[in-house]
Structure 1
């Protein structure tokens, strides 16, 4: 059944991406949830543009809308109104199957709680996105996964189960997995929330290296010190972008 479903996904056609756009473009994006208490507007007309190769930190208090904003970009959730373009693709127009295929090829997602499959080895966890999207030749996937694990410094743990790794090591595996299909965009939602300060700083250093190499990095964080180590800080408050500034000198973007 799973193989049949994956085969069906591989047959999904995606629109041709728009050429020459930014890595991320959000235009008047709104998101309204229907709750038992009535409507709740989580995003209120967000406009945001991120160029390729930028490292952007999204900050804000709990409930400000920062995670909802990220979910619009990854296609995990759908906007109620407005447009979301990622690498030239109109994400807001895609159906569920198209989003699954597009996300697997275009966006690497790093979660706070790692989300590694406990019954798969570290190497198998990193190979999984390649298997899912049929990226790279099957015979090439183990070597590519091992190379990514070496890149994040945990290749010696390749044949262990995630439970046998420290939290910092598991997060590094999660980052390696997010890079499996060489996506142009990496989205990290509180990736350092469960790490000690030294390991968190190492993760940020690695993100900076990725951005210097051309990857676009969007990171949600509550840690202002870590945010200041990015290239740009976007502050979200009450569903709106309240400030958008250069992380180094504080000037508006």
Structure 2
């Protein structure tokens, strides 16, 4: 699959993933930040497994390590100790260049504030990851982007700029963009934080449908009602996962 997506990158430049590995596996992951007041331990030996097709809510109070945990999984940050495996790839061993390539074809990220480029149309925003990673032929990209916009129910907005859409529509576009390169893993950081309850529920239902189709989804949320609609809830407290919640 990598050969099809990234012809300009030798396959040998990325480690071969382990077959039949969990979608996400963290082994004794520890993260320490140096501050003016000394060391701050954000993660304290996290062990976690997430199976393919699971829809997992990551919950906990602010400052307890949820975002740090997500940053480990997406390769945005590196562990101080321990191992991070995603779809059988040892993310903790990758170089910065390898991580950029790996993330582009493996992980879709959905943010609370959408982060759509305001000067591009909705269609162009969804095509952008394909352009960056050289995924699909250029002539195929508009059609795929339209298919993804149809999947999330906003294909009629394809030629508009993001500012002309409602918050719920913009979040649906952001989800379509996260799916552009058909990643096996979606990571959503408070994706419903700026949405009304009805729209938030619709986004969660869309995630449930994607998980039913085989996508693995990790979602950070403060909303307990929405978290209860996931397959599993993982609670992070003071840099640790509460006992019994880390195993599949």
TM category (shorter chain) comes to over 0.9
Structure 2 vs 1, CA of residues 244 and 148 (structure 1 numbering), >3 Å: closer, same or farther?
farther
Alignment partner, residue 124 of structure 1: 124
Aligned counterparts of 1:167 and 1:10: Cα–Cα separation in 2: 37
Alignment partner, residue 3 of structure 2: none
Offset, 1:18: 1.2
Instruction: Give deviations 1:156-203, integer Å, cap 9, x for gaps.
Output: 110111111111110000000000000000000000000000000000
Alignment partner, residue 66 of structure 1: 66
Instruction: Give deviations 1:83-102, integer Å, cap 9, x for gaps.
Output: 00000000000011100000
Aligned counterparts of 1:176 and 1:88: Cα–Cα separation in 2: 25
Aligned counterparts of 2:106 and 2:149: Cα–Cα separation in 1: 20
Question: Is residue 137 of structure 1 aligned with residue 134 of structure 2?
Answer: no
Alignment partner, residue 178 of structure 2: 178
Offset, 1:227: 0.2
Offset, 1:11: 5.7
Aligned counterparts of 1:10 and 1:146: Cα–Cα separation in 2: 27
Aligned counterparts of 1:245 and 1:10: Cα–Cα separation in 2: 38
Alignment partner, residue 90 of structure 1: 90
Question: Is residue 112 of structure 1 aligned with residue 112 of structure 2?
Answer: yes
1:26 aligned counterpart, secondary structure: strand
Offset, 1:226: 0.2
Asked if the contact 1:234/1:243 (under 8 Å) is kept, the reply is no
Q: Which is further off, 14-23 or 224-233?
A: 14-23
Q: How does 1:145-184 map to 2 (within 5 A)?
A: 145-184=145-184
Q: Gaps spanning 5+ residues in structure 2: where?
A: 1-5
Aligned counterparts of 2:138 and 2:244: Cα–Cα separation in 1: 43
Aligned counterparts of 1:11 and 1:162: Cα–Cα separation in 2: 36
Aligned counterparts of 2:156 and 2:82: Cα–Cα separation in 1: 46
TM-score normalised over the length of structure 1: 0.92
Aligned counterparts of 2:118 and 2:41: Cα–Cα separation in 1: 36
Alignment partner, residue 194 of structure 2: 194
Q: How does 1:230-249 map to 2 (within 5 A)?
A: 230-245=230-245
Asked if the contact 1:10/1:133 (under 8 Å) is kept, the reply is no
Q: Gaps spanning 5+ residues in structure 1: where?
A: 1-6, 247-251
Aligned counterparts of 2:10 and 2:128: Cα–Cα separation in 1: 19
Offset, 1:137: 1.0
Aligned counterparts of 1:107 and 1:50: Cα–Cα separation in 2: 14
Alignment partner, residue 55 of structure 2: 55
Aligned counterparts of 2:243 and 2:119: Cα–Cα separation in 1: 43
Query: Which structure 1 residue ranges, 4+ long, deviate > 6 Å from structure 2?
Result: none
Instruction: Give deviations 1:58-107, integer Å, cap 9, x for gaps.
Output: 00000010110010000000000000000000000001110000000000
Aligned counterparts of 2:244 and 2:70: Cα–Cα separation in 1: 16
Asked if the contact 1:118/1:163 (under 8 Å) is kept, the reply is yes
Aligned counterparts of 1:14 and 1:134: Cα–Cα separation in 2: 16
Asked if the contact 1:149/1:176 (under 8 Å) is kept, the reply is yes
Aligned counterparts of 1:131 and 1:98: Cα–Cα separation in 2: 17
Aligned counterparts of 1:118 and 1:10: Cα–Cα separation in 2: 30
